[in-house]
C-alpha cells in the first residue's frame, strides 16, 4: 500500500517535467549553440529595412517588421507589438535573426533574404514561416519624373528612395549668380586689315537663355534656349538665317558648336542684307560673372548708356551693377 502511494505521487511530477522541456524546444528550436554563434559573421547591415507581408504569400504570424539602422526593431506578431534590439548573423548557408525584446526575452528566427528591388524575407520560428517583402532601400529601378531626381532618405531609421526636385547640372554649376559671360575669339578673319573676330555671349540662368553676338553679347546677337541637359539651341541648322547651337556641361563650361546671323537694312536703292557665320567651331570657353556699369546723365543734358563687363574688372568708382541669383 505504501509503495503504490509513492508511485502515484511521483507520476504527476514526471509528466510536468516532460511538458516543460517540450515548450522550451518549440520556443527556441531555431537557436544555434552559443559557442558556434559567436563565430558567425554579422550581416545585419544587409537586412535593414521595413517589411510587410509579401503579395500572394500565405498569411503568417508576423505581419510587420522594421529593422532600423541603429539595431532597434518593431515587430508585429499575432497582433501584438514588440520592440527591442536585433542582429542577424550568418554561418555557412544559415542566417539567424535574434530579437531581444525590451523585457529581456529573446526570439530567434531562421531567415532567408532574396534578391531584387523588393526582396522577400522568410522568417521561420517554431516550424512556422512568415513571408514578408522589404520596401525599396535604394534608388535602383526608381524612375522619377522630368526635373526630379532620386535620393535615399532615412525615415524612422530605415532608408528609402524619394524623388526630389533637381536643378539641372549646368544651373548648379552656375548657381549663386544670374548673369554670366563667355567669349569665343578667333572665329573668323577680318576681311580688311589684320586680326580676327569672335563672339561674346551672355547667359541668363533664371531665364535659361544664352545670347551671343559679334558686337558684345547684346548687339548683333542670336538667342538660344538652354535645356535641362545643358543643350543650347536657337533656330534650325538648315533654313534659318539666325541659328545657334552648343551646350553647357556640369562644370559650367560653354561649348559653341554653331553661330549664324543675318541682318537686313533698307537703303535708298532697296534692301541690303549682311550675313555672318562663325567658323573654327566647336570651341569651349570658361564662363565668368558679368556686371554692368550704370547709365550716366551729364549736366549738359547728355546721356551715356552703361555697358557690360567682367565683374573682376569693376572698380569702386564704376559702381557696377551685380546680378545675384533671384
* Beta partners for residue 179, in sequence order: 204
Cα separation, 320 vs 314, in Å, equals 6
As a whole number, mean pLDDT of residues 194-208 equals: 86
Classified as helix, coil or strand, 23 is: helix
- How wide is the angle at C-alpha 96 spanned by C-alphas 90 and 100, nearest 5°? 125
The single-letter DSSP state of residue 286 is -
pLDDT digits (tens, 9 = 90+) for 107-124: 999 999 999 999 999 999
The residues pairing with 264 across neighbouring beta strands, listed in sequence order, are: 273
Q: CA nearest 324: which of 206, 177, 204, 203?
A: 177
| C-alpha span between 52 and 221 (Å, rounded) | 61
Give CA–CA dist 198/157, Å, rounded: 57
Which pLDDT tens digit goes with each residue over 85-94? 999 999 999 9
Per-residue pLDDT, 195: 52
Distance between CA 274 and CA 213 in Å, rounded?
14
Place of cell 524619394: 162
Instruction: Please tell me the distance from the alpha carbon of residue 28 to that of residue 50, in angstroms, as a whole number.
Output: 24
Place of cell 566647336: 282
Q: Which residue has the higher pLDDT, 32 or 230?
A: 230
Contacts of 155 (CB under 8 A, 6+ apart): none
Whether 104 has a pLDDT exceeding 50, the answer reads yes
Give the per-residue pLDDT at 211.
96
- Distance from CA of residue 90 to its chain's centroid? 33
Closest CA to 308 of 176, 182, 174, 170: 182
283-294 pLDDT, tens digit each: 999 999 999 998
Compute the chain's Rg from CA coordinates. Answer: 37
pLDDT, averaged across the chain: 86
Do 40 and 31 contact (CB within 8 A), yes or no? no
Is the pTM value of this prediction over 0.85? Answer: no
Amino acid at each position: 500500500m505504501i509503495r503504490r502511494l509513492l508511485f502515484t505521487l511521483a507520476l504527476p511530477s514526471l509528466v510536468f517535467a516532460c511538458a516543460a522541456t517540450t515548450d522550451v524546444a518549440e520556443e527556441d528550436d531555431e537557436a544555434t549553440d552559443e559557442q558556434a554563434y559567436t563565430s558567425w559573421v554579422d550581416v545585419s547591415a544587409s537586412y535593414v529595412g521595413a517589411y510587410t507581408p509579401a503579395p500572394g504569400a500565405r498569411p503568417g504570424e508576423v505581419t510587420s517588421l522594421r529593422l532600423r539602422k541603429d539595431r532597434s526593431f518593431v515587430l508585429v506578431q499575432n497582433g501584438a507589438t514588440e520592440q527591442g534590439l536585433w542582429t542577424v548573423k550568418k554561418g555557412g548557408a544559415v542566417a539567424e535573426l535574434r530579437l531581444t525584446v525590451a523585457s529581456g526575452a529573446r526570439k530567434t528566427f531562421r531567415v532567408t533574404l532574396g534578391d531584387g528591388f523588393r526582396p522577400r524575407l522568410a522568417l521561420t520560428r517554431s516550424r512556422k514561416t512568415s513571408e514578408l517583402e522589404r520596401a525599396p532601400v535604394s534608388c535602383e529601378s526608381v524612375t522619377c519624373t522630368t526635373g526630379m531626381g532620386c535620393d535615399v532618405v532615412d525615415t524612422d531609421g530605415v532608408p528609402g528612395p524619394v524623388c526630389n526636385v533637381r536643378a539641372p547640372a549646368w544651373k548648379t554649376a552656375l548657381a549663386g549668380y544670374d548673369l554670366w559671360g563667355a567669349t569665343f575669339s578667333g572665329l573668323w578673319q577680318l576681311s580688311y586689315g589684320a586680326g580676327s573676330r569672335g563672339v561674346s555671349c551672355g547667359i541668363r540662368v533664371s531665364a535659361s537663355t544664352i545670347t551671343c553676338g559679334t558686337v558684345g553679347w547684346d548687339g548683333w546677337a542670336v538667342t538660344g534656349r538652354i535645356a535641362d541637359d545643358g543643350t543650347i539651341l536657337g533656330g534650325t541648322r538648315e533654313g534659318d538665317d539666325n541659328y545657334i547651337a552648343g551646350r553647357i556641361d556640369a562644370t559650367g563650361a560653354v561649348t559653341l558648336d554653331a553661330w549664324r546671323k543675318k541682318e537686313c537694312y533698307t537703303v535708298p536703292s532697296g534692301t541690303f542684307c549682311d550675313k555672318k557665320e562663325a567658323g573654327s567651331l566647336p570651341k569651349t570657353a570658361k564662363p565668368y560673372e558679368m556686371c554692368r556699369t550704370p547709365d550716366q546723365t551729364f549736366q549738359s543734358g547728355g546721356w551715356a548708356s552703361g555697358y557690360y563687363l567682367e565683374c573682376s574688372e569693376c572698380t569702386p568708382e564704376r559702381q557696377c551693377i551685380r546680378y545675384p541669383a533671384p
